[in-house]
A and B are shown apart, each in its own frame.
Chain A
Amino acid sequence: MSATLTPKLTGPPALTAVPGELAADNASLTRFLHGLPGVDQVGAEGRAAALATRSIKTTAKAWAIDTAISMVDLTTLEGSDTPGKVRSLCAKARRPDPSDASAPAAAAVCVYPDLVATAVEALRGSNVQIASVATAFPSGRASLATKLVDVAEAVAAGATEVDMVIDRGAFLAGEYSRVFAEIVAVKAACGTGEKAAHLKVILETGELVTLDAVRRASWLALLAGGDFIKTSTGKISPAATPPVALVMLQAVRDFAARTGEVRGVKLAGGIRTTKEAVRYLVMVNEVAGSRWLHPSTFRFGASSLLNDLLQQRHKLTLGGYDGPDYVTID
């Protein structure tokens, strides 16, 4: 009885011209970013809350769980990470559910640069991507040269995806062209051609605080060539929140409408339950559009989320909860 249509990618026409050669010119970049429509915090929170009331059941839930599993960047970013821990995580990413081969693999594993080689070895022959945080993660407080070495090492070791952090200090100081130039430089360090690593740009929205800043940082990262915009390092609270996700999804939607280029969004930090993940998929579906419901354009950066997804998957396939001892701890 319900009739829903896929939104067409014919969004709003240009607000002003998309800046082409902005990198060198902080003034024109500032004019563009500050000329973006404002975000009303109350309204954005209201919209995010309204989307969270969608009721996703039975076949829709099964589809959403499998889709969410295939979008997980299974992550470990601890000082205590070891090759053993990373190998264990890789095995989990390749085959999340030992008892059920029909469960999809995760999208990627995400590790520090020095453990990329271990992950490459452990994931050989699979389609699971190897993501590495770089650029003096998580604070980004290092020289550009140091950051680029960090990236180059990760890429040389075999990382297929690089998760960089922006210089939040520079952003908050209004030095947009500096942030822009860093992203461009990191993108170059990711390589060229088909083998280039995909670049995810972490905005660390918990430090940007306002939704206006989130919108501006999103556009800045997209204009500078980021393949994905990503909420958080996971080291700062709050991390991914529904209103922040809403604004970032609007940014990639509007960017695609104006440039024809489809970029991705990665939500990271604090997403632990299937219920939250499904709500975010609803948001992707209704705000950006169903075109974005694919691991090439939407990811969850998470660790414990995967086991909750698997437990909910068991519940649907077996008809009841089997409990935490029926999923693996890695």
Chain B
Amino acid sequence: MTAFEYAPAPESADIARLKSSYGVFVNGELRAGRGEPIKTINPANEQPLAEVAEADTSDVDDAVAAARAAYTDVWSKLPGAQRAKYLFRIARAIQERGRELAVLESLDNGKPIKESRDVDVPTAAAHFFYYAGWADKLDYAGYGPDPRPIGVAGQVIPWNFPLLMAAWKIAPALATGNTVVLKPAETTPLTAITLAEIIAECDLPPGVVNVLPGGPAIGQAIVDHPGVDKIAFTGSTGVGKMIQKSVAASGKRLSLELGGKAANIIFDDAPLDQAIEGIVNGIFFNQGHVCCAGSRLLVQESVHDEVVAALQQRLQTLRLGDPLDKNTDIGAINSAAQLARVRALADSGDAEGATRWSPECTLPERGFWFPPTIFTGVSQANRIAQEETFGPVLSVLTFRTPQEAVDKANNTPYGLSAGIWTEKGSRILWMANRLRAGVVWANTFNRFDPASPFGGYKESGFGREGGRHGLAAYLEGEH
């Protein structure tokens, strides 16, 4: 009997309804930006997808002016129930065009279609639904009677979850009565621009949402613009620090969601088969391009060999390849630059004496690819245990006692997330009280829900997104 070979099951790229060119969305109008047009490419094969006429600084001026006018004249005066009506409408429209958005996201980002289809797009819609529900109930959110919006929010988002991050930023801002100037990442602008198209079709008043594709200069222009009242940024810690310097003493409010080096902690009494899935989901979900990725595996030494063996066996069933194939588990690295960073950090693991292991897998010839990789024999002093990899690379370390696990988990400049795997409930609570991480998952990892706040400690940033807490980032006088 031959082996069970899964035939290719590709989603059609036509579903994305790719246009030949994309532009900016300013004051309710989709038009070409005045900056240099760039080509956005499919990271899975390096083929150009579309031309994007990016914004220049005059577009930033226009967008901020439009957002200010919309804030003053319309949006801040609109009753919450009316704002909710628009947000519900956007949420439904995202669902209706879910398949298109999922394929477009996989083309532009390189992530597997099963993730864009089952995670990114439904969670984006869920965020709009969730914050739509808050819009007319802000008096009861715990921020006092009649909480006030801040004004114009400048929002800069990363390339790892392009649509979902746009939803995380836009939904709470609009629910609380702010208007928005959003800049998607330069390598992944297409779903944010399509979201702008959806927003236009939902008849949102012009200027309430503006989308400006562009590079770092446009991000800087938004951050520095005197007409912006609040900056919300998700991205690297390095850029976050620059932004914080830029807005110092400007009176602008700031929330930052930055990098991470999360510990996923496996005790010897863990439900091991599920822990293996949690490890895989923690670091190989979205090729490890996840700020809260469980990139440091802390395994109790007594089960180290067993866990590593089971993990290696599991990794051999991961399918790497065409992101549009419905059976693909691991897609492409988003860009050549990111691939170079992942390679360099992995090479440092070799150089510092850790042991590298990957399952046998053939990488496609074109595009940006990196195999799922485990480093064992990693020590706390190694770069791969300290620096954010943002790629499918797992560092395995060991511990002996719960206290040692806490000490090692917290021994990082970051503090975004952590995972605990044990069947002992009291230990989960003991650990969670001591882990300095914004999110602590117990017997699961990388689970997101719009009702649950998300954000970091230390160099992972400040401010919370999601849940009731996520409203505070867009309300006057709250932090």
Contact = CB atoms under 8 A, between A and B. Distances in A.
Interface stretch (A47-55, A77-85, A179-187, A305-313): A47-55
Nearest to B305: A13
B321 A3 contact: yes
B304 to A, nearest CB: 11
Contact of B274 (A1, A10, A47, A56): A47
A124 interface: no
Interface in B184-238: none
Interface string A1-41: 11111111011110100000000000000000000011110
A196 to B, nearest CB: 24
B285 to A, nearest CB: 11
A150 to B, nearest CB: 34
Contacts of A8: 313, 316
A43 B270 contact: no
A285 interface: yes
Interface stretch (A113-121, A133-141, A286-294): A286-294
Nearest to A215: B273
Contact of B310 (A5, A12, A43): A12
Given A1-B322, A3-B360, A57-B7, A43 B316 contact: no
Given A37-B270, A290-B4, A53 B313 contact: no
Contacts of B340: none
Contact of B361 (A5, A55, A58): A5
Contact of A54 (B271, B322, B327, B359): B327
Binding site secondary structure of chain A: loop
Contacts of B327: 2, 54-55
Given A2-B320, A3-B321, A5-B360, A40 B443 contact: yes
B306 A60 contact: no
A1 B317 CA distance: 14
Given A4-B319, A11-B309, A55-B9, A63 B362 contact: no
A143 interface: no
A286 B319 CA distance: 11
Nearest to B325: A2
Contact of B317 (A5, A11, A59, A293): A5
Contact of A43 (B318, B359, B361, B444): B444
Contacts of A1: 8, 321-322, 325, 364
Contact of A53 (B114, B278, B360, B364): B114
A2 B316 contact: no
A11 B444 contact: no
Contacts of B8: 1-2, 57
A291 to B, nearest CB: 10
B2 interface: yes
A64 interface: yes
B273 A44 contact: yes
Contacts, number: 127
B478 interface: no
B423 interface: yes
B393 interface: no
Interface in B322-348: 322, 325-328
Interface in B266-280: 269-274, 277-278
B118 interface: yes
Nearest to A12: B306
Contacts of A15: 306
Nearest to A60: B7
A98 interface: no
B1 A293 contact: yes
Interface string B157-199: 0000000000000000000000000000000000000000000
A173 interface: no
A13 B318 CA distance: 22
Contacts of A44: 273-274
A300 B198 CA distance: 48
B275 to A, nearest CB: 8
B326 A59 contact: no
B5 interface: yes
A63 B6 CA distance: 10
A10 B444 CA distance: 26
Interface string A248-268: 001000000000000000000
Interface in B90-143: 114, 118
A47 B314 CA distance: 12
Interface in B298-317: 305-307, 309-310, 313-314, 316-317
Contact of B272 (A6, A37, A46, A54): A37
Nearest to A281: B4
B4 A60 contact: yes
Contacts of A11: 309-310, 313
Interface in A224-254: 250
Interface of A: 1-8, 10-13, 15, 37-40, 42-44, 46-47, 53-61, 63-64, 67, 250, 281-282, 285-286, 290, 293-294
Interface of B: 1-9, 114, 118, 269-274, 277-278, 305-307, 309-310, 313-314, 316-322, 325-328, 359-362, 364, 423, 443-444
16 contacts: A1-B322, A2-B322, A3-B361, A8-B313, A10-B309, A10-B313, A12-B272, A12-B306, A42-B444, A53-B326, A59-B7, A60-B5, A67-B1, A282-B4, A290-B4, A293-B1
